[in-house]
């Protein structure tokens, strides 16, 4: 029996990169997955269904509460209930780095709107369906940057630190509902978004990042999926409020 048989999951930011990897991994373990993104998730859904899994796609904007509510409603309408949320959608790859005093206010506001408000709104949208299902698992995606302190990216760092704080607070509020809330904080993972973020400095960044790890190789998407499946499954039934560092041993909490 697969670990997630009978479970229903929403994954945001699922059109490519880590979000797609999370969606495929959850489906491979038996979950029905609603793959959501501001872009279409046709490729993600096709990959899952071609492998024999169950999935549907929905274009959604996490900065809109109406859109988040539609995600939760669609998951229940399509698959009957809702057990798992992976809050992966975030602004990252296209961000323009700068010293903190030189960051553009419009970019700061956009990052907070998606990376912080978006996480909050998705959580708000899924709480009632999860209560109706008898509990659930919310997995918020933070970043090593939140605890390590990435220079020239204060907007991103602040947003991902907020995700850790929200995770802890929501875990305390939702324990009575049997809804667990945890965060996963990876180092830079080799995805399209990371390539966009570092641009022409990517190869140098990869070398520096790997050198700072106990396990000195760069992370790939499949290095994250085991942690996501664990937190989504009943194997982590008494794990909540935690931030799980998946960073090759860069930072010890």
Q: Which residues contact 221 (CB under 8 A, 6 or more apart)?
A: 17, 18, 20, 21, 189, 190, 191
Residues 6+ apart with CB under 8 A from 112: 155, 158, 159, 162
E-only strand ranges, 71-159: 84-87, 136-141
Catalytic residue among 92, 148, 152, 156: 152
Tokens read off for 80: 């009957």
Give buried/exposed letters for 155-166 (b at 16+ CB in 10 A, else e).
bbbbbbbbbbeb
Gap between the Cα atoms of 34 and 13, Å rounded: 11
CA-CA distance, 60 to 166, in Å (whole number)? 22
Q: Mark whether 148 is an active-site residue.
A: no
Catalytic residue list: 152
């Amino acid at each position: 029996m697969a670990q997630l048989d009978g479970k229903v999951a929403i994954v945001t930011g699922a059109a490519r990169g880590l979000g797609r990897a999370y969606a495929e991994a959850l489906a491979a373990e038996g979950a029905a997955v609603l793959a959501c993104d501001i872009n279409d998730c046709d490729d993600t859904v096709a990959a899952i269904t071609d492998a024999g899994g169950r999935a549907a796609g929905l274009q959604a904007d996490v900065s809109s509460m109406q859109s988040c509510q539609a995600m939760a409603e669609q998951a229940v309408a399509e698959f009957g209930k809702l057990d798992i949320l992976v809050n992966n959608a975030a602004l990252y790859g296209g961000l323009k780095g700068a010293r903190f005093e030189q960051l553009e206010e419009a970019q700061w506001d956009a990052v907070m709107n998606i990376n912080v408000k978006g996480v909050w709104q998705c959580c708000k949208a899924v709480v009632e369906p999860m209560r109706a299902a008898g509990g659930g698992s919310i997995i918020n995606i933070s970043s090593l940057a939140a605890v390590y302190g990435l220079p020239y990216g204060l907007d991103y760092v602040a947003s991902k630190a907020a995700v850790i704080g929200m995770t802890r607070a929501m875990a305390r509020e939702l324990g009575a509902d049997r809804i667990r809330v945890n965060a996963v904080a990876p180092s830079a993972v080799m995805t399209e978004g990371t390539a966009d973020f570092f641009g022409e400095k990517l190869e140098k960044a990869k070398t520096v990042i790997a050198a700072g790890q106990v396990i000195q190789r760069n992370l790939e998407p499949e290095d994250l999926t085991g942690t996501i499946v664990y937190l989504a499954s009943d194997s982590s039934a008494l794990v909540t409020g935690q931030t799980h560092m998946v960073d090759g041993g860069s930072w010890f909490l």
